[in-house]
Amino acid sequence: LVTEIVDDIPLDERAIESAASSLSGATDLLQLARQTPVIRLVNMILFEALRRRASDIHIQPLESRLVIRLRIDGMLVDAFTPPLSLAAAISSRLKVMAELDIANRHSPQDGQTTVKIGTRKIDIRLSCIPTIFGERLVLRLLDQSQTQLTLDAVGMTHDMQSQIVDLIDRPNGIILVTGPTGSGKTTTLYAAMEKIDRTSRNVMTVEDPVEYHLEGVAQMQVNVKRGVTFASGLRSLLRQDPDVILVGEIRDAETAHLAVQASLTGHLVLATLHTNDAPSAISRLQDIGVEPYLISSSLLAVMAQRLVRRVCPACNGKGQVQGPSSVGLIRCEKCLGTGFAGRVAIYEIMRMSDEIRRLVLTTADARAIRSQAVKDGMRSMLDDGLDKVARGFTTESELKRVLAES
């Protein structure tokens, strides 16, 4: 289902009041969802979130009020507080857009929809859960037109880019990208895949969900309800004569073993994993049941990453710019007064040297592996972050905040 949103409709108090006053004549949830003021209000919430570059919208009913928050550059900020009476109307409208059961308010539901604003097309994933004060909704916004899938755009140095290009030119092996949820792992993998010659290599993916559409790549989406898991999807891809396989996430032993076997039988495998740093990926694989000798023989490299907020280039991080002479300083509209606009990644790339492979075979801990990786020339995320601070991309306090979370 695709919803057209009229461009340039800022959210204002009149729209909220209009939607609230229209509820008096509503008799059921579907009638609520179809009322013009409610449709307009939800469209304005979506438009405002996109205007502020939000990646997520949180809609949470509390005991006496409704809170709508936006995740902007990784940070949750309060955005609107409509009357609590609008909670059912907003949730019903969004559930209609995502083709969910609006009458079911007592069990979790997940859905998706698409909105168009001018030439922009935004995919939305909707999650609803019941709480004691009503339904809580979270919307993930995926704006493909605003995402640059290049290694330059994600913040890689030329040396790192050279390493990545060298790795993805290999005919077989595993390359892992690690980090917490929302750290940009998938974007980095997609940017790396842009360097692969897709005319001479068969590139395939299994993802949950497919976040960006890649030209010339066969992308499969996980659908647990229909029996498509990462493991079963990967097993099916291996019958499609692939050269390069992207696995959205290694979550369990079965997927891990299939990825390893694929890499040992002539396939290049790219995958993500949840660990705090690059060396910890090895112990994580061991924890889920992959034998050290298989890790040693299949793993090419591990790249860990985090996202730090980028200093706004328009106001140089001050949050204000010079307005007309009669006004003086005014709020910077590019960063909306925060001093930050967008995010940039910090990385560490651990390539598997003979010494690290030997340590893996002896089940050495992550500390010993990190020590050897540094001797081999690995620059840590802290080193990369400090370099980006020195170059004015981010701030020292922002770097400390992000690395402290790990």
Q: Among 114, 145, 176, give the residue marking a domain's end.
A: 145
Which CATH number does the domain housing residue 104 bear? Answer: 3.30.450.90
In this structure, the answer to whether residues 279 and 341 fall within a common structural domain is yes
In this structure, the answer to whether residues 231 and 378 fall within a common structural domain is yes
In this structure, the answer to whether residues 215 and 269 fall within a common structural domain is yes
The reported pLDDT for the residue numbered 9 is 61
In this structure, the answer to whether residues 133 and 162 fall within a common structural domain is no
The tokens describing 52, both together, are 């502020």
Mean pLDDT (the chain, rounded): 92
In this structure, the answer to whether residues 205 and 173 fall within a common structural domain is yes
Radius of gyration of the chain (CA): 23
> Is the pLDDT assigned to residue 399 strictly greater than 60?
yes
pTM of the model: 0.89
In this structure, the answer to whether residues 276 and 377 fall within a common structural domain is yes
Q: Is residue 153 part of a domain?
A: no
Q: Is residue 152 part of a domain?
A: no
Residue with token string 């997940």: 110
Q: What is the pLDDT of residues 343-358, one digit of tens each?
A: 999 999 999 999 999 9
The reported pLDDT for the residue numbered 21 is 76
Q: What is the pLDDT of residues 285-316, one digit of tens each?
A: 999 999 999 999 999 999 999 999 999 999 99
Q: Binning pLDDT at 50, 70 and 90, where does residue 183 land?
A: very high
Between 389 and 86, where is the model more confident? 389
Q: How many CB atoms lie within 10 A of CB 42?
A: 25
User: Please, is 28 exposed, middle or buried when counting C-beta atoms within 10 Å of its C-beta (0-12, 13-18, 19+)?
Assistant: exposed
Q: Is residue 150 part of a domain?
A: no
The tokens describing 122, both together, are 């935004």
Q: Among 145, 171, 189, give the residue marking a domain's end.
A: 145
Q: Binning pLDDT at 50, 70 and 90, where does residue 11 land?
A: low
The reported pLDDT for the residue numbered 160 is 95
Q: Binning pLDDT at 50, 70 and 90, where does residue 218 land?
A: very high
In this structure, the answer to whether residues 184 and 135 fall within a common structural domain is no
Bond into 279 cis (ω within 30): no
The reported pLDDT for the residue numbered 323 is 83
Share of the chain above pLDDT 70, in %: 95
> Is the pLDDT assigned to residue 49 strictly greater than 60?
yes
DSSP class per residue in 345-397:
EEEEEEE--HHHHHHHHTT--HHHHHHHHHHTTPPPHHHHHHHHHHTTSS-HH
Sheet with 54-61, strands from edge to edge, namely 2-4, 109-117, 120-131, 134-143, 54-61, 66-72, 75-80
Half-sphere exposure of 82 (CA within 13 A, CB side): 27
Tell me the residue range of the domain where 82 lies.
Answer: 2-145
In this structure, the answer to whether residues 130 and 163 fall within a common structural domain is no
Number of structural domains in the chain:
2
In this structure, the answer to whether residues 61 and 136 fall within a common structural domain is yes
CB proximity list for 204: less than 8 A, separation 6 or greater = 217, 218, 219, 220, 237, 240, 242, 244, 245, 246
Kind and range of the H or E run holding 91: helix 87-97
In this structure, the answer to whether residues 87 and 181 fall within a common structural domain is no
Q: How many CB atoms lie within 10 A of CB 38?
A: 25
Q: 274 to each of 185, 278, 403, how far by Cα in Å?
A: 10, 10, 15
Q: Is residue 26 part of a domain?
A: yes
In this structure, the answer to whether residues 189 and 140 fall within a common structural domain is no
In this structure, the answer to whether residues 167 and 95 fall within a common structural domain is no
Q: Among 145, 179, 212, give the residue marking a domain's end.
A: 145
The reported pLDDT for the residue numbered 212 is 85
